[in-house]
Structure 1
Amino acid sequence: MIDRLFSLGLWLIAALVTLVFGWLLVDILIKGLPIISWEFLSEAPSRAGRDGGIWPILVSTLLILVVAIAVAMPLGLCSAIWLAEFTRLDGPFGRRLGLTLDILAGVPSIVIGLFGYAFFSGFLGLGFSILSGGLTLACMMLPILVRTAESGLTAVPDEWRHAAAALGMRRASVLWHVLLPAAAPAITAGALLAIGRATAETAALIFTSGYVDRMPESLGDSGRALAVHIYDLSMNVAGGDRAAYGSALVLVCLIVIINLLANLLSLHWAKRKVTLA
């Protein structure tokens, strides 16, 4: 009876979360779909975003994400490999480093935004720019990427490493052909969590990438991200709710597309693992 009640409680919680998420998604679809058009996606905003489109904002968002992913993915993956394969996680240094990463993963985004404003925008002289915003988001993504990738690598059985060593494989070959394909689901999950958080980030980008809604000409120009644009339309612009719903729908679609691409990459790595096996 206790097990049945516990299972029923879990199903009810899952159903409640699904209903809330479905209600939000339906609300965005109903109010956002009438706004979506080619003009909305290809034109620049006008009248503080009430009219026009979101093309410069969409370009700025993609550029910020490209900078963040290009910096965070190799650093996070290399750090995870170093932690999992070259460091004793049960030692004093490994425990302290793991605790530090866990703390950094839970730091509020506004704090990371203030750090990015002080360090990238101020100390490094990048100012309000796409590069400053992307580097700040990379700092936000790194702890999540490192911890999930490190957990995936440590979950690979040691017998696989021993078998590869017995076959005379170099350590780099073992990492590339055995360990990374085996840990691909965990790496993908970490990447999805990190990219999803970065894509929908607002507080950190207000202080770093800026508020300008014109088309950026380089990574050194200021650019408004979609999440910042939605916040501005809904909070500061009278009559901007209509465009805010359309921008929110585009942001949801962008996150879905990124998730699908990450899943396709994970499936590709999984097929490589099966072929090697």
Structure 2
Amino acid sequence: MKLPLPTLILWAIALFVTTIFCWILGDIIWHGIGQISWQFLTTEPRNAGREGGIAPILISTGLILGVCMAVSLPLGVGTAILLAEFTSTENAFGRLVRRSLDVLAGVPSIVFGLFGNALFSIKLGLGFSILSGGLTLACMVLPILIRATEAGLQTVPAEYRLGAAALGLSRTTTLWKLLLPAATPGLVVGLVLGIGRAIAETAALIFTSGYVDRMPESLLDSGRSLSVHIFDLAMNIAGGDANAYASALVLLILLLLVNSIATWTTQLWL
């Protein structure tokens, strides 16, 4: 059967995107798989990162991401509930907040980096630290998380709310037992997109968490994330390409693990 031209165009676009993705993924695996070892994952960088491993980099990345999620999740879900359940679409405050979130979602990461440096590093006195980097990433993730969760809540049929009210359920019970589980797909989408943006961010972290590649002792220590490490090895360190490819492969594996864990946790909760 002959396919219509629009269908052929859509299939061609999908095939093109898939090919580009497979080419990039294959290139990273081809150049990076030989460097991956237990020693690479558990030792500190040496010779400006040309030798050694990425253990402090992994710890710093995990701490930055942990700070980001600890701040953005409660704020994001709470704000989404406020907008979806307690603020009508005609409300001026609601329109202002939604428009502001849409604008913030498109702001370049370098702007967030300068903002985080001015507010968290300088004004609040946190300096170049893991805490500054995590708080800056939380500001970046919040618009995506809020809008995705709000969209998920808005897709829940109104009959759920009416039925809960008819049964005499409290607003809190309705939210926790009915609305949030039904809106879980939107929450997971926002969470995965937010984590993906946070864990792969470079520009914002250069101005907030810094370049230091030693093992952090607290959240107030400077820490280098994986994305910053890859950038530094690829752009500033001659002979650092091999470890840069290996670090990029580890970053991709981490993203895959995060997506899998988010999906598994969602299914377990449901």
Report TM bin, short chain: over 0.9
Measured after TM superposition, the shift of residue 95 of structure 1 is 1.7
Q: Residues 106-185 of structure 1 correspond to what in structure 2 (within 5 A)? A: 106-185=106-185
For residues 209-255 of structure 1, give each alpha carbon's deviation from its aligned partner in whole angstroms, at most 9, with x where no partner exists.
Answer: 00000000000000000000000000000000000000000000011
- 1:31 maps onto 2:35 in alignment: no
Q: CA RMSD in A?
A: 1.3
Paired letter, 2:30: I
Could you list the per-position Cα deviations for residues 152-193 of structure 1 after superposition, in whole angstroms to 9, with x for gaps in the alignment?
001101111000110111110000000000000010001000
Q: In 2, Cα distance between the equivalents of 1:94 and 1:79? A: 11
Q: Is the 8 A contact 1:184 1:269 kept in 2?
A: no
SS at match of 1:215: coil
Match of 1:273 in 2: none
Paired residues, what number? Answer: 270
Per the alignment, residue 207 of structure 2 pairs with 207
SS at match of 2:223: coil
Distance between the aligned counterparts of 1:162 and 1:76, measured in 2?
25
Q: Quick one: which amino acid aligns to residue 184 of structure 1?
A: T
1:89 positional shift: 1.9
Rounded Cα–Cα distance in structure 2 between residues aligned with 1:138 and 1:14: 32
Residues 1-277 of structure 1: pairs in structure 2 closer than 5 A? 4-270=4-270
Cα distance in structure 1, aligned partners of 2:268 and 2:14: 30
Report the identity percentage: 61
Q: Distance in 2 between matches of 1:263 and 1:20?
A: 26
Task: State the 1:7 CA deviation.
Answer: 1.4
User: Could you tell me how far apart the structure 2 residues matched to 1:36 and 1:215 are?
Assistant: 20
How far apart are 1:9 and its partner, in Å? 0.9
SS in structure 1 of the partner of residue 215 of structure 2: coil
1:94 deviates by 1.6
Separation in structure 2 between the aligned mates of residue 32 and residue 16 of structure 1, nearest angstrom: 24
Q: Please report the TM-score for the alignment, with normalisation by the length of structure 1.
A: 0.96
Per the normalisation by structure 2, the TM-score is: 0.98
Structure 1 unaligned spans of 5+: 271-277
